[in-house]
Structure 1
Amino acid sequence: MITDWHFYALAIPAVILLGLAKGGFAGMGALSLPLLTFAVDPVRAAAITLPLLIAQDVVGVWAFRRTVEWRLLGWMVPGAVLGIWLGYAFAASVSPAMVMAAVGAISMLFGAYRLWAARHATPRSAARWPEWVGSLFGVASGFTSQIAHAGQPPFQLWVLPRNLPRELLVGTTAVFFALINWIKVPAYFALGQFTAANLLTSAALLPLALVSTVAGVWLVRRVPAERFFTAIYMLMIAVGAGLLWEALP
């Protein structure tokens, strides 16, 4: 089990952000893994947070289980399986510094995309594409989710143009990422990351993960969070740039 207080100084806010994201504040959790990467290598950080994500998924899926667009998931999930395999192959074949650089780049792109999306209407043309194109977005979402637990942008680029009601969007998002988090489990076993130390660290953070998820479910129906989102995404770009700065030399 990790006992370094520097790790927990980053892990506690990271887990709270994961909980808020799983509770319905979609996108906030993408900052969590980049934060932890300043304390441990990115593959280990992802392995520690994966059990927390799976536990948090139970709360999110239960809360929104009656509002799911299954047809969209039917097209996206098969592509996500391929994307997860590609992400595993990438992480298994390159150095930790390259994985860190990938996490940094994904974080910057994620933050920039979300800031852009907040100021521009979602393109309606995507809603007119053939349904099978959703599998390609699934591949991109699976890959970025495997590398950095940041599969939201490709998912949203495909789903948001459909203008789903808020509850249906949140429920579909919860179920999609619950499924792909379970699909990622064999990949992290293959990478040798489910060690006793990592699992004990996950267990120590689990109570906070569950409490923050319940809080997110409660808050998402009551709190407008636009300004908070803007700060999160700007910080995500800065953190991603910091990871790139550390990794590229």
Structure 2
Amino acid sequence: MAGYAAILPAKTSTGVLLVLLLLGDAFALWSYRKHAHWPTIVKMAPAVVVGLALGGVFLALADDAWVKRVIGVVLLLLLAFTFWQRRRRSHPVADVTPISRGASVGYGSLGGFTTMVANAGGPVMSMYFLSARFPVHAFLGTAAWFFAVINLTKLPISVGLGLITPATLVLNFWLAPAVVVGALIGRWITARIQQKAFDGAVMVCTALGALYLLI
């Protein structure tokens, strides 16, 4: 997600990627809809709404350079915080570790903000799920429902801000097959990947995306 903000102008990438994300959400729900951890979604919902509102205001005022810098810094800080939390906890990975109300509010508001600003809420919420030590399928099922709802909520906001246009929809048409192929490959990998390798891949991809935005 952060990669689109790095390749395209940050604001343009927001509209293009949102439509692709909705397509990806459909595949994710098809594959992992039964594995969601609903208490997590309900707990974070109010903070996410606040983050979405703040992100909409920021997106209307900030230029592309600021969008990239802010998202990059946020991702690096959350990566460091998540790594620290995981090091200090020793719960088995088979259990979801309870997260404090303050941490839930922080992750939720930042998740809403970053997903509104640059569709970069995925890495933020990934750090939350890793901090809580979600098993692979619970991670993917919770994320699938969470972002399906969030992205549908963002759709009219993005249209109103002029981020989704006929030109961006044409680009979506050409990129959609890649999303379908990627979703199928991801489903194949998920059925075979070990928990430790999955967690490591998420953290590495988040770090690389954040650094690319800052460079």
Query: Normalising by the residue count of structure 2, what TM-score does the alignment of the two structures yield?
Result: 0.80
1:86-101 → structure 2 map (5 Å cutoff): 86-101=54-69
Post-superposition Cα deviations, 1:58-106, rounded to whole Å, max 9, x if no partner, equal 1111111111121221121232122111101001022333223223333
Matched letter for residue 52 of structure 1: L
Does residue 138 in structure 1 map to residue 111 in structure 2?
no
Distance 1:35 1:234, change over 3 A: same
- What is the CA RMSD across the aligned residues, in angstroms? 3.0
How is 1:39-118 mapped onto 2 (pairs within 5 angstroms)? 40-109=8-77, 116=83
Query: Following TM superposition, by how much is the alpha carbon of 1:162 offset from its aligned partner in structure 2, in angstroms?
Result: 4.5
Which structure 1 segments of 5+ residues have no match? 1-29, 243-249
CA distance in 1, matches of 2:99, 2:205: 31
Q: Secondary structure at the match of 1:62?
A: helix
Q: How does 1:1-249 map to 2 (within 5 A)?
A: 30-36=1-7, 40-109=8-77, 116=83, 120-122=87-89, 127=98, 129-130=100-101, 134-152=104-122, 154-156=124-126, 158-160=128-130, 162-224=132-194, 225=197, 232-242=205-215
Q: Match for residue 94 of structure 2?
A: none
1:122–1:160 Cα contact (<8 Å) kept? no
Instruction: Please state whether the residue corresponding to 2:20 is helix, strand or coil.
Output: helix
Query: TM-score normalised to the size of structure 1?
Result: 0.70
The number of aligned residues is: 207
Deviations 1:124-174 (A, max 9, x none): 7x82634x8634432221001112322245535554454444322221111
Identity of aligned residues (%): 26
Deviating more after overlay: 228-237 vs 210-219: 228-237
